[in-house]
Structure 1
């Protein structure tokens, strides 16, 4: 059973400036919960017990969020706000969470390389720290683990995108082995619609065998002079079996303002505390447009 996960969270978050000038983009809240906490909760719900976060300059708030806060806890205890106290304490008990610093922003592939010795020659999960995925079939990470256990090979989450949007994503070139599982022949980074081998895009969740580290070490810098994870994936697909899982659900793109706002609205509608109030307000608001 896979127990280790890596969460890269070192990027600058420039598309959310000035909000991310002093706050990590991964700490931007969806309702009242930081994005990265949602990601950690997905990992934990999938059976992950050990998480390594790759962080960079200005990301100290992430460490503090997952640590205990004695002064805050004492204040809540004095107020007898036990419900909030339990909620706050539970954050630091989600998993064994460790941190390592990516001192230079040299790409996602370089960030993953920082996890080599922590992973210790085991298969592991990667969850991007600024992206949420939801599925009607349970945590997407758990679904990937199930596929890994069946095929004993690296596997990547896939989502179906509109054909005209394939040039925004990494796309699988593969053959179906079941209704939702595809064996990869290649991975194409941001192809034009006419050159795309499919419309199944990589969706920010991965399981890799430890061989990925050797491939990343041999991968020269690519676009933006960064080590691209997709380049190493292409090499891997040529030397061993790799799979993609088209999950039944949705990836929430919070990397831009519109996606962030839509995500908050969708999550708010499902929130047991404010969901009904939001529905009433939305109907009234839309009716007055």
Structure 2
């Protein structure tokens, strides 16, 4: 088993109900931020952090995500014919970002089940999990920072943020134990607790 993280699992099978009606016909991961969809920012962060293989766990109505990273011969031919070299280059760069593997999640049974759907591809290797709900703008990718901590500790690593009391029910909340050098040892975690039952205000992102 290697200690180097080469693979990233990205669950994209959710229904996106929080973003309705925008996500009725479009996957939430394809919603644009400026000139790129959310999922492309996530993949680019993974690649910038050293990830080589992207495992996208998809579901019903998510074909647009596969099409986005796949080669589109008709589009490439059209752009080349109109001498739109810069646009053609951008499109080709998307296709060449990484090795993409798609796994189907039969039913939207949550993120844990989605990650489990990728187990045969991940095998016994350590891997990263990324979600499309948060984009962190930092000179050094957040994932790269997490991977460095993993290489030092050889333990699972989570990214946390302080969450207001009224929003803890929307997050997985951790129960912290010890803190040293900016790292927090986690004793337990609770998925979407009520504010009165939350063990802390540290939410998983």
CA 56–169 in structure 1, closer or farther in 2 if over 3 Å, else same: same
- Match of 2:179? 177
1:143 to 138, 145, 156: 145
Alignment of 1:14-93 (within 5 A): 14-93=17-96
SS in 2 for 1:167: helix
- Match of 1:196? 198
- Match of 1:117? 120
Greater helix content: 1
2:14–2:108 Cα contact (<8 Å) kept: yes
Structure 1 unaligned runs (5+)?
Answer: 204-289
Give the distance between the partners of 1:137 and 1:173, measured in 2 at CA: 29
CA 137–90 in structure 1, closer or farther in 2 if over 3 Å, else same: closer
Give the distance between the partners of 1:127 and 1:15, measured in 2 at CA: 19
Matched residue count? 202
Give the distance between the partners of 2:17 and 2:196, measured in 1 at CA: 31
Post-superposition offset of 1:179: 3.8
**1:6 correspondence with 2:3:** no
Post-superposition offset of 1:178: 2.4
Post-superposition offset of 1:134: 1.3
Q: TM-score, normalised by structure 2?
A: 0.92
1:51–1:98 Cα contact (<8 Å) kept: yes
1:166–1:191 Cα contact (<8 Å) kept: yes
Give the distance between the partners of 1:167 and 1:22, measured in 2 at CA: 27
Post-superposition offset of 1:100: 1.0
Q: TM-score, normalised by structure 1?
A: 0.66
CA 191–21 in structure 1, closer or farther in 2 if over 3 Å, else same: closer
Output the aligned Cα RMSD. Answer: 1.6
Give 4+ residue runs of structure 1 displaced > 4 Å after superposition. none
Structure 2 unaligned runs (5+)?
Answer: none
SS in 1 for 2:44: helix
Give the distance between the partners of 2:39 and 2:31, measured in 1 at CA: 8
1:166–1:192 Cα contact (<8 Å) kept: yes
2:41–2:135 Cα contact (<8 Å) kept: no
- Greater C-alpha Rg: 1
Post-superposition offset of 1:175: 2.8
Post-superposition offset of 1:133: 2.4
SS in 2 for 1:143: helix
